[in-house]
Structure 1
């Protein structure tokens, strides 16, 4: 229908009562093919509505997926433009709604992390205000990777990519051993419960400060190897002696052994 109407001379630049043009509506409702067609027909990829918002701002704010945001950025949409009312960039809007997919794409395009909106907030401040802890964590990691924040010894350590990679690699070995060790300890059950809670707190601490979602492909391999090693360890340390004992016992005392 869009193709048909444009073929009969419909004007895609007209605004409706709310100040939206066709490309703004197509962007905020995720109609990627229509956005691409409108741009091909001459619509400005950075066309602004009455509030100074671009199609990229609407897609970052409303569409929780790769497109049409990826399309708009590929076609040259301004990733650091600010709207007229609140001074928000596409990254501010993505942080408002917790749109992690768009946040990642804007990071990949090196969106400016220091731009302030009308309230004097950076995108990190907006994510913190709306309590999107995952985005706050990723934003801090990105800022650290770009060297934008002052860092003490702990933050340098926790935001070092090589350190995070090593922690994520070795943690499953520690976790598998701990899960097997605590129930086997010869102590009262409440001490075991305390140790389990401490282990869970340690995991929470590492997850908050050292785990990096961009390196999650490490975890499956590490879990596989740690469980494999623990399986062999259990077999040779605990099961093989039992099997050898049973074999000797049956060889000596089983009535079948005398018959044989």
Structure 2
């Protein structure tokens, strides 16, 4: 065998070795997601790990990635089959967690990928939790949320925000078209609620925007 043939064979053997099975993951999947360790996450995917497994806190890897705001990991997990509608142990879906974490870009991505949750419900979730990210409300409106929708008691998101004294959220809702004079089923308007609470900052904010 001449030297050229030997070199060719050696090269082929090296290429075959390089194409062998990748290393197994060395840390648990949820820990890899916590650390944004793409290499370890990809190893888990290649070796067939359950990408919808819960951690000790009842979160799936997708929930963890959403909470941390890791768009790249969210996209990777979603493309590899993560269940975008699976709730965590608290009953919160990944898109719900994105809303609660103020991750508007991730929420938008998940909705585009088919996340099935009513935009009005997501707006309620945000308001009840007091989340103040200014980009989430216009996103939900764009996706079909009615900023003036009312619950069984006739309470609008604005009334809920006023009742909790969340001035920043009240401001964001008004900026996005919330009706400052729409009453609940008992006839109470946002301004009356703010007056009862003695919340001067919200009273002034409502009055500046035409509340009666």
Which bracket does the TM-score occupy, shorter chain normalised?
A: 0.5 to 0.7
Q: CA deviation at 1:126?
A: 3.2
Q: CA deviation at 1:47?
A: 4.2
Equivalent-residue separation in structure 1 for 2:190 and 2:163 (angstroms): 8
Equivalent-residue separation in structure 1 for 2:157 and 2:116 (angstroms): 17
Alpha carbons of structure 1 residues 30 and 130: separation in structure 2 relative to 1, 3 Å: farther
Equivalent-residue separation in structure 2 for 1:7 and 1:23 (angstroms): 15
Q: Alignment partner of 1:101: what SS?
A: helix
- CA deviations on 1:18-41 (whole Å, 9 max, x unpaired) are 443222222122122221211221
Equivalent-residue separation in structure 1 for 2:154 and 2:94 (angstroms): 23
Unaligned runs of 5+ in 2: 1-72
- CA deviations on 1:130-180 (whole Å, 9 max, x unpaired) are 432111122123225xxxx4xxxxxxxxxxxxxxxxxxxxxxxxxxxxxxx
Match of 1:59 in 2: 126
> Are positions 1:71 and 2:143 aligned together?
no
Specify which of 23, 32, 37 is matched with residue 109 of structure 2: 37
Unaligned runs of 5+ in 1: 49-53, 150-260
Specify which of 82, 85, 99 is matched with residue 166 of structure 2: 99
How many aligned residue pairs are there? 139
Equivalent-residue separation in structure 2 for 1:41 and 1:126 (angstroms): 39
> Are positions 1:10 and 2:78 aligned together?
no
Equivalent-residue separation in structure 2 for 1:128 and 1:18 (angstroms): 35
Q: Alignment partner of 1:88: what SS?
A: coil
Bigger proportion of residues as helix: 1
- CA deviations on 1:211-238 (whole Å, 9 max, x unpaired) are xxxxxxxxxxxxxxxxxxxxxxxxxxxx
Alpha carbons of structure 1 residues 17 and 43: separation in structure 2 relative to 1, 3 Å: same
Equivalent-residue separation in structure 2 for 1:88 and 1:18 (angstroms): 24
Contact 1:32 1:71 (8 Å CA) reproduced? yes
Match of 1:239 in 2: none
Contact 1:95 1:135 (8 Å CA) reproduced? yes
Contact 1:94 1:102 (8 Å CA) reproduced? yes
CA RMSD of aligned residues (A): 2.9
Q: Could you say which structure has the larger radius of gyration?
A: 1
Q: TM-score, normalised by structure 2?
A: 0.53
Contact 2:119 2:144 (8 Å CA) reproduced? no
Contact 1:60 1:69 (8 Å CA) reproduced? no
Alpha carbons of structure 1 residues 75 and 135: separation in structure 2 relative to 1, 3 Å: same
